[in-house]
Every structure is written in structure tokens, then in C-alpha cells.
Structure 1
Amino acid sequence: MQTRWISRLLPASTHTRPTEWSRAAIGVSLGTLFSVWVCSLFFGLPVALHLIGPLGASAVLLFAVSSGALAQPWSILGGYFCATLVSLVVVYFLGRNLNSACLAVGVSLIAMCLLRCLHPPAGALSLLVVLADPDSASLGWAVLEPVMLAAACMLVSAMAYNNLTRVRYPKKAEAAAVPTVPAAAGDPRITAQDLQKALEQMEAFIDVTPEDLEALIKASEQNARRRSVTEVFTQGPN
């Protein structure tokens, strides 16, 4: 039992190739640099650098795990907007201190969940908006402008770089294909709608889309069929 518990702490094996790591790493660096540079042109370097932490975290999601539900366009734009707006409201009533910062990140989480735009780096952003540096704090409610500009630049760079490097982004929802051959009785086909419902029933944050799950299941079924055929030919008649 203790060994099983310890094994849960070990990192899971990754299924991506080193070439993909390099592709994502270059994108993360370029996306972050582009976002900070554009933001600094309009609002100054101190304000832009104040946002570099959340932007770097967002870049990891948008370039390294771009198929995840937390890395889609509405997630970063809606998440950044919710976190900033909630934090500004908290600052208006409670001021800039540690307690209000912690309250802001919690309320931001609820807002993002309600609007279906959960984006983890936005949590760090809400803390930074409350505990802002003098240059950012002096902007007041106008701090929304550099935040959304930086988020938009990160999104544009992710869309351009990912698609140029043959990684489809953003992830487009596809209608579930209708089976051309009727399924056998007692063996229903799993569709994207079934997977969506299953994800909702799990009542937990799972960073995957129903379309990705459907593609994974179909690929697994094909591999299983190939393995089954191979076993028949290798084993031969008894």
C-alpha cells in the first residue's frame, strides 16, 4: 500500500518527442518576448515586465499543450479579463494587501468557472493586479488595457506559430461522426457527446476536450484491431 502511494508521487511518462519539446520551447520564448515587447511599446517596460510571469505560464499552455481545454482562446482572454476585473473590484473595496490578493484569486477562480474560461496563469495575474508595482497601480482601472493587449499578443503568436509548425490551433470542435456500419447489439459506439457527458459527471478539472478523447479512443481501437490480427497470424491454427 505504501509503495502504491509513493508511486503516485512519481512523474508520469511523457508521450511527446524531443522535437516537439524543442518546437514548443522556441514558441514559448518567442511568444513571451513578442507579448512583452508589444505591451512595453504602449505602456512602458515596467508595466510589461510586471505581467511577464503569467504570460510565461500562459505560453507554456498555448505552445506546449495547445490541445488542452485550458489553452484555448476563450480561456486566456476570458481568464485574463475575469482575473483583472475581479482584482480591481477587490482593490477598490479592500485595498492592496495580502488578504485582498488571496481573496481576489479565489473569487477569480469562481468567475472563470462560471464563464467556462478557466486559465491557471490568470490566478497569478489576479495576485499581481492586487499587489501591483507603482507603475501598474497608477493605471487604476486602465490596467485592463495592457493585460488584454498582452493576452491578445500571446494568443496571436500562438495561433501563428503553432499552425506554421503544423500544430492545429485553436482546437476546433468537430461534430461526432455517424457510424456508417450499425453497431452490434450491446456494443454501442462512443461519441463526443458521450464523452462530454462523462467529463461533466466526473466533477473534476480535466484538461482535455471530448474531441481529443474520441480521437484517442478511435486510435486505441485501431491498434487493438491490428494487434488482434497480428496475434491470429503469428499464433496460427491450434
Structure 2
Amino acid sequence: MRLRPSGLQSYLGKMRGSTQGSPPRVRLPEVFWSWAGAFLGIAAVAWLNQRFFADADLALTIGSLGASAVLVFGAVRSPLAQPRNLIGGHILSALVGVTCWQWLGGDPWLAQSVAVATAIALMHLTRTLHPPGGATALIAIIGSDQVHAMGYLFVLIPATLGPLVLLAVALLVNNLPAARRYPEFWL
């Protein structure tokens, strides 16, 4: 009598010796353009941050922009990387995050969970789902006293301006090679 392997054993067996189910290998030109776009996009945000915002106790650079760069430059055709999602996802999530901090900041665990869950729900309802938006909502709560002092200014700087800078760079870089086209759709 032969025993059937469990689902996990079967899955692990397939993964060990097979590339079936793996994502396709990305061609080197695609890797180059993803690298160049991410470099230029984050460099633009970081340079603007250092030049104009560092002395003003404002921050243009937030961690969620790194995740946005992965989508906008590394997955240019993804619906999650399109301008509506990039901009709308960050703005909605920042609004939710700041509001949750102001209303629920006395219970940070509650503010964090309500902010991320609500940001996801609103992004779904508005068709602006952008995974880094969840991080933007979270940053509004777990950020420093400087972030909290910004209040709703956080929605403009960095949550709107940062993604707009990435979008400008994406429009330039992602449309240079013939094999890439960005955006797939605006609205």
C-alpha cells in the first residue's frame, strides 16, 4: 500500500527539482531599466528632501516610496503601479493614517490596525489599491514626533509630493525603451 504525500510534502517536492510555477526570468534590459528608474526616482526624492525639506523639519522620503519604486519601475504593467493607484493609494492611506493617529493615538496598536485595514478598504472601494499605501498609513502612526507634528501636512509632504516625483521620473524612464510603456491607464 502506497501512501499519498500530504499537500505540503507534495508542494515541497515540486519546488525542489522543478522551476515549474516559478516566475519567468527577467531579461537583462528589463533589469537595467528597472534599476535605472528606481535609482533616478529615489535619487530625485532624496535630493529634493535634502535640498528643500531637511532644514524645515519636514521629510519627503518615507519607506513606502521604496516599495512604490519596486512597482512603478519593476512591474510597470501591474494595475497596482498605475498613476491612479500610485497617487490615490498614498493620499488616501495618509489621510487615514493621520486621522487614526489623531483619534486613536492613545492606543497605538488600535490606531495601527484600524489605519492599515481602513486604508486597504478605501483603496479597494476607490480602485486605487497600491500596497505601499498600507505602509504610508502605518508610517503616519509609528513615525517620529516630527511626523505626528505634521498632522495633515503629512498627506501633502511626503504622501502626495513623493509619489508625484516618482511618477514624473517613471513617465520619462519607463517610456525610453520600446519594450516598456507607462502608464497602461491613467484613470
TM range (shorter): 0.7 to 0.9
CA distance in 2, matches of 1:151, 1:112: 16
The letter for the 1-side match of 2:82 is Q
The letter for the 1-side match of 2:104 is L
- Among 156, 173, 177, the alignment partner of 2:168 is 156
Cα offsets for 1:104-139 (capped at 9, x unmatched):
001100000000000011111111011111222211
**Residues 17, 41 of structure 1: alpha-carbon distance in 2 compared, 3 angstrom cutoff:** same
1:122 paired to 2:128:
no
CA distance in 2, matches of 1:90, 1:131: 11
Question: Please, what is the CA RMSD of the aligned residues?
Answer: 2.2
The aligned counterpart of 1:196 is none
**Residues 134, 165 of structure 1: alpha-carbon distance in 2 compared, 3 angstrom cutoff:** farther
Cα offsets for 1:157-210 (capped at 9, x unmatched):
11111112332100149xxxxxxxxxxxxxxxxxxxxxxxxxxxxxxxxxxxxx
What secondary structure is seen at the aligned counterpart in 1 of 2:160? helix
What secondary structure is seen at the aligned counterpart in 2 of 1:164? coil
The aligned counterpart of 2:10 is 4
Compare CA radii of gyration and give the structure with the larger one: 1
**Residues 122, 86 of structure 1: alpha-carbon distance in 2 compared, 3 angstrom cutoff:** same
* Structure 2 residues not aligned, in runs of 5+: none
Q: Is the 8 A contact 1:39 1:48 kept in 2?
A: yes
The Cα shift of 1:36 comes to 2.7
Cα offsets for 1:74-100 (capped at 9, x unmatched):
001110011001111111211162331
CA distance in 1, matches of 2:99, 2:176: 40
Cα offsets for 1:42-99 (capped at 9, x unmatched):
43276234x1x11111011011110010000000111001100111111121116233
Q: Which has the higher contact order (CA 8 A, sep 6+)?
A: 2
- The worse-fitting range, judged by mean Cα deviation, of 22-31 and 106-115 is 22-31
CA distance in 2, matches of 1:99, 1:37: 35
CA distance in 2, matches of 1:75, 1:8: 33
- Matched residues, number: 171
CA distance in 2, matches of 1:41, 1:67: 32
1:13 paired to 2:19:
no
- Among 32, 36, 61, the alignment partner of 2:42 is 32
Please list, as runs of the form range in 1=range in 2, the aligned pairs for 1:219-230 lying within 5 A after superposition: none
TM-score w.r.t. the length of structure 2 is 0.82
1:56 paired to 2:62:
no
The Cα shift of 1:23 comes to 1.6
The aligned counterpart of 1:106 is 117
Q: Is the 8 A contact 1:28 1:60 kept in 2?
A: yes
The aligned counterpart of 1:199 is none
What secondary structure is seen at the aligned counterpart in 2 of 1:92? helix
CA distance in 1, matches of 2:148, 2:50: 16
1:66 paired to 2:66:
no
- Among 148, 156, 161, the alignment partner of 1:145 is 156
Q: Is the 8 A contact 1:38 1:153 kept in 2?
A: no
TM-score w.r.t. the length of structure 1 is 0.66
Q: Is the 8 A contact 2:60 2:161 kept in 1?
A: no
